[in-house]
Structure 1
Amino acid sequence: MTNTASTITTVVPLDQLLAAVRELRISGRWRRATDLLDAARAADARDRARLAVAAVEVALESDWFGGTSLAGERLDAAERAFKEARLDGGWDLDFLRLRHGYLRLVRVDGRFRPGPDGKDPAALTALHAAAGGLRDRAPDAVRRGWAEMYLGLVADNLLAERDRAPAHYEAALRAGESGDDLLSREALRHLGDHDHDSGDHTRALERWRRATELGARAGAVPGTLSQQMLLAVLARDAGDEAGAAALAREVARWAGAIGAATTEAQAHGFLSGADPTAPPSPSAAGR
Structure 2
Amino acid sequence: MLTLDELLVAGRGLALGARWELATGLLDAARERLPLDDPRRARIALAAAEIAVDSAWYNGNTDAPARLSMVDADALDEHERWDFEFARFRSVYYTKLRQYEPALREQAEGFVASAPDGRRLGWAHMYLGLVYDNVLEERKAAPEHYKVALANSGDDPLLRREAQRHLGDHDHDDGEHELALERWRDATAVGAAAGTVGGTLSQQLLLAVLARDAGDEGGALALAGEVQRWAAAVGAGRIAGLASAFSQGVDPTQPPPRE
Same fold, judged at TM 0.5 (above):
yes
Q: How far has the Cα of 1:64 moved from its partner?
A: 1.9
* 8 Å CA contact retained: 2:43, 2:76: no
* 8 Å CA contact retained: 2:68, 2:88: yes
Unmatched tracts of structure 2, length 5 or more: none
CA 202–27 in structure 1, closer or farther in 2 if over 3 Å, else same: same
Q: How far has the Cα of 1:45 moved from its partner?
A: 2.6
Provide the TM-score with structure 1 as the length reference: 0.85
Residue 137 (str. 1) matches residue 137 (str. 2): no
Q: 1:97 aligns with which of 88, 91, 96?
A: 88
CA 86–191 in structure 1, closer or farther in 2 if over 3 Å, else same: closer
CA 252–280 in structure 1, closer or farther in 2 if over 3 Å, else same: closer
User: Which residue is 1:47 aligned to?
Assistant: 40
User: Which residue is 1:67 aligned to?
Assistant: 60
Higher helix share: 2
Highest Rg: 1 or 2?
1
Residue 37 (str. 1) matches residue 27 (str. 2): yes
CA deviation vs aligned residue, 1:76-98 (integer Å, no higher than 9, x gap): 111xx234x38676211110011
User: Which residue is 2:49 aligned to?
Assistant: 56
Provide the TM-score with structure 2 as the length reference: 0.94
Q: 2:199 aligns with which of 173, 198, 223?
A: 223
CA 192–87 in structure 1, closer or farther in 2 if over 3 Å, else same: closer
User: Which residue is 2:145 aligned to?
Assistant: 168
Q: How far has the Cα of 1:12 moved from its partner?
A: 1.7
* Partner amino acid, structure 2, of 1:71: A
Q: Distance in 1 between matches of 2:77 and 2:216?
A: 55
**Alignment root-mean-square deviation, CA:** 1.7
User: Which residue is 1:232 aligned to?
Assistant: 208
User: Which residue is 1:257 aligned to?
Assistant: 233
Q: Distance in 2 between matches of 1:16 and 1:86?
A: 18
Q: Distance in 2 between matches of 1:61 and 1:28?
A: 11
Q: How far has the Cα of 1:49 moved from its partner?
A: 0.7
Q: Aligned to 2:179, what secondary structure does the other structure show? A: helix
Q: How far has the Cα of 1:279 moved from its partner?
A: 4.6
* 8 Å CA contact retained: 2:52, 2:63: yes
Q: How far has the Cα of 1:60 moved from its partner?
A: 1.3
Q: Distance in 2 between matches of 1:164 and 1:87?
A: 33
- The 4+ residue runs of structure 1 with deviation greater than 4 A are 86-89, 279-283
* Partner amino acid, structure 2, of 1:137: S
User: Which residue is 1:19 aligned to?
Assistant: 9
Q: Distance in 1 between matches of 2:174 and 2:102?
A: 27
Q: Distance in 2 between matches of 1:282 and 1:269?
A: 18
CA deviation vs aligned residue, 1:77-122 (integer Å, no higher than 9, x gap): 11xx234x3867621111001110100111xxxxxxx353xxxxxx
* 8 Å CA contact retained: 1:66, 1:260: yes
* Partner amino acid, structure 1, of 2:161: R
Structure 1, 87-96 or 201-210: larger mean CA deviation:
87-96
State the percentage of identical aligned residues: 53
* 8 Å CA contact retained: 1:160, 1:282: no
* Partner amino acid, structure 2, of 1:217: A
CA 136–86 in structure 1, closer or farther in 2 if over 3 Å, else same: closer
CA 87–19 in structure 1, closer or farther in 2 if over 3 Å, else same: closer
Q: Distance in 1 between matches of 2:176 and 2:255?
A: 16
CA deviation vs aligned residue, 1:221-260 (integer Å, no higher than 9, x gap): 0000000000000000000000000000000000000000
